[in-house]
Structure 1
Amino acid sequence: MLKVSVVLPAKNEAGGLERVIPALVGMGIFDEIIVVDDGSVDQTSTVASGFGAKVIHHPYSKGNGAAIKSGVRAATGDIIVFMDADGQHQPEDIPDLLEKLDEGYDMVVGSRSGSSQASVGRWAANSFYNRLATFMVGHKVEDLTSGLRVVRAKKFREFLYLLPNGFSYPTTSTMAFFRAGYSVGYCRITTLKREGKSHINPIRDGLRFLLIIFKIGTLYSPLKLFVPFSFCFFSLGMGYYLFSFLASGRFTNMSALLLSTAVIVFLIGLVSEQITNLMYQGTVSDKDRNQ
């Protein structure tokens, strides 16, 4: 019988934990519940320990991803369930995700419906991320940023060093699983309104998520990101060269700059592709040595 651990990253989520932990305990299917207190200043730790959860303390806030990593290192289960501590995720959805995992998947993600998104802006941003990820991996990605997911612990730990300390751990872990050839599945879920105030800053984290778009490309398949940019510069260079040649019969510095940029961008993509391959080959080699 496989052991199942639940990891809840929490920062000032005492209110949400008062509802989430009793619901998890009442289900009776989890071997341990781990709450990672990421520098909270409320009663998060007291509430969690009061309901019997194992509590890991961060002396100061390190970020959602750092809390996830601390929880994974402490978890003893063969399967790990990740969910938010703010009350958005419903524990009743977890059995469906576990059942899907038993079908042969290595990670199963709770896919939110459009009505479950926090706002229209958040829905539009997530839809863009999903389309970009689908293009990168060649498989339909239904929800790239969902925090409710179940994973096989041994395989998830292979990518701990890749996970950022901020809010983008779902994105990075999903792309890493696809890149390694592991199976990723989805189950439809409905999320509730969160307890308390969100820790996501629209401007600061919006810019951060914009950087994630480029990180997705360089993490999974850099050439898929760099080749279109290279082709754009090449097309502009050739188009400007054709225009200047027909207009004045000469090859201009601007044409040379655009064509040179196209070559440089392509070469950067080629080098990035090789680095990415070496990175994942290292992961596979470490896995083979541990077997």
Structure 2
Amino acid sequence: MAVTGRFDHSNADLSRVPAQISRDNNGTTLDVTVVLPCYNEQAHVLAEIERITAALDTSGLRYEVLAIDDASTDGTLQLLREATGRCPHLRVLAFHRNGGSGTARRIGTLQARGGIVVWTDADMTYPNERIPEFVRLLLSQPQVDQVVGARTSEQGSHKFLRVPAKWLIRKIAERLAGTRIPDLNSGLRAFRRDVSLPYLRLLPPGFSCVTTITMAFLHNQHDVQYVPIDYARRSGTSKFHFVRDAYRYILQVLRMVMYFNPLKVLMPPSLWLLAVGTAKIGYDLVAHPVRIATNTVLLLCAGLIIGAVALLADLIVRSRIDWPTGNR
């Protein structure tokens, strides 16, 4: 099956889709787990939890909200623990040191009791009242393994820098993945937990974890569907650092492509160097008969070395047997 990233405007009535049952080791039956990383979110974390639980309470889905306090230095953890008495579906996991949102999402997914896992943020930016819609889309379409909220606007800080940088990174990812990606690093997504498990060890600790899970699913032939969503201005202080996190995004995109399809990264420069080196040989023989310049030899050697590494990396990738093939 070809990789298909779809931008869906489905008008189907998803409220009648029967719940998909998942059972954990303790016998608890749940449909969905919402993983909610929290770091210094005391001003709005309870409002976010109330918004999520209100939407899921009316959906008829069996659910839990797994709030992960990432060693907050304010009163976030205390508020979360106090809220467990009022919210029976809330579970709190506290980190002793800050591990980053990627670490929180990875551990939260491993600890999830639901067959479907939802990632979102606690900063009031994403329309979390639409979480049941994302879950119903997965339940109604067995061939889809991940549903991503594709933002229709950019409300973050450094907007004049973020927009062109994110566009460039997304275009690089689309080129390497071979499919359209409306939103590469959206923080609101739902996916099948069992499909995601082999990829969790690839997640970096920071923000680029959402990019990683997208690229991992696409490169391993899992169907990813995109749903347009609104994106609000963040409540509180942003933890995003433009230069550092943009650099990490680019590295993570290249790393994921190298992990699943290294030929796409390494073979083009190899062939380009070989082509330039071959043309340079012809020039050298005309300009300086019976003598090939040193830089020509270096171009050819570099092309051959990179090509050999590309073929070796591809051989290693093809010999791996630890990746699932999806639902198809």
Q: How far apart in 2 are the matches of 1:97 and 1:274?
A: 37
Given candidates 253, 272, 294, the residue that maps to 1:232 is 272
SS in 1 for 2:265: helix
**Any residues of structure 2 matched to 1:31-70 within 5 Å, and which?**
31-52=63-84, 53-70=90-107
Residues 100, 185 of structure 1: 8 Å contact kept: no
Name the aligned partner's letter for residue 201 of structure 1. Answer: H
Residues 230, 266 of structure 1: 8 Å contact kept: yes
What's the TM-score, normalizing by structure 1? 0.91
Most deviating of 56-65 and 131-140: 131-140
Q: Does 1:112 align with 2:180?
A: no
Task: Provide closer, same or farther for how the CA distance between residues 60 and 169 of structure 1 changes in structure 2, counting only shifts above 3 A.
Answer: same
Name the aligned partner's letter for residue 259 of structure 1. Answer: L
Runs of at least 5 residues in structure 1 that lack an aligned partner in the other structure = none
- Following TM superposition, by how much is the alpha carbon of 1:117 offset from its aligned partner in structure 2, in angstroms? 5.5
Q: How far apart in 1 are the matches of 2:51 and 2:324?
A: 38
- Following TM superposition, by how much is the alpha carbon of 1:160 offset from its aligned partner in structure 2, in angstroms? 1.2
Q: How far apart in 2 are the matches of 1:275 and 1:171?
A: 23
Q: How far apart in 2 are the matches of 1:31 and 1:97?
A: 13
Q: Which residue of 2 aligns with 1:121?
A: 161
Alignment RMSD = 2.0
Name the aligned partner's letter for residue 36 of structure 2. Answer: L
Q: Which residue of 1 aligns with 2:206?
A: 166
- Following TM superposition, by how much is the alpha carbon of 1:8 offset from its aligned partner in structure 2, in angstroms? 0.8
Q: Which residue of 2 aligns with 1:24?
A: 52
Name the aligned partner's letter for residue 75 of structure 1. Answer: A
Larger helix proportion, structure 1 or 2? 1
Q: Which residue of 2 aligns with 1:252?
A: 293
Most deviating of 55-64 and 109-118: 109-118
Q: How far apart in 1 are the matches of 2:101 and 2:200?
A: 13
Q: How far apart in 2 are the matches of 1:143 and 1:122?
A: 13
- Following TM superposition, by how much is the alpha carbon of 1:116 offset from its aligned partner in structure 2, in angstroms? 4.6
- Following TM superposition, by how much is the alpha carbon of 1:130 offset from its aligned partner in structure 2, in angstroms? 2.3
Q: Which residue of 2 aligns with 1:86?
A: 123
Q: Does 1:267 align with 2:308?
A: yes
Residues 175, 219 of structure 1: 8 Å contact kept: no
Residues 15, 86 of structure 1: 8 Å contact kept: no
SS in 1 for 2:54: helix
Q: How far apart in 2 are the matches of 1:245 and 1:181?
A: 48
Q: How far apart in 1 are the matches of 2:243 and 2:166?
A: 15
Q: Does 1:211 align with 2:248?
A: no
Given candidates 21, 27, 33, the residue that maps to 1:5 is 33
Task: Provide closer, same or farther for how the CA distance between residues 126 and 96 of structure 1 changes in structure 2, counting only shifts above 3 A.
Answer: farther
**Any residues of structure 2 matched to 1:137-148 within 5 Å, and which?**
137-148=177-188
Name the aligned partner's letter for residue 141 of structure 2. Answer: E
Q: How far apart in 1 are the matches of 2:176 and 2:186?
A: 18
SS in 2 for 1:284: coil
Runs of at least 5 residues in structure 2 that lack an aligned partner in the other structure = 1-18, 21-30, 85-89
Sequence identity of aligned pairs in percent? 29
Most deviating of 11-20 and 67-76: 11-20
SS in 1 for 2:40: coil
Given candidates 116, 136, 141, the residue that maps to 1:103 is 141
Most deviating of 176-185 and 231-240: 231-240
Task: Provide closer, same or farther for how the CA distance between residues 110 and 46 of structure 1 changes in structure 2, counting only shifts above 3 A.
Answer: same
Q: How far apart in 2 are the matches of 1:88 and 1:98?
A: 19
Q: Which residue of 2 aligns with 1:15?
A: 43
**Any residues of structure 2 matched to 1:174-185 within 5 Å, and which?**
174-185=214-225
Equivalent residues, number: 285
What's the TM-score, normalizing by structure 2? 0.81
Most deviating of 151-160 and 268-277: 268-277
Most deviating of 143-152 and 176-185: 176-185
Q: How far apart in 1 are the matches of 2:170 and 2:76?
A: 33
Task: Provide closer, same or farther for how the CA distance between residues 179 and 206 of structure 1 changes in structure 2, counting only shifts above 3 A.
Answer: closer
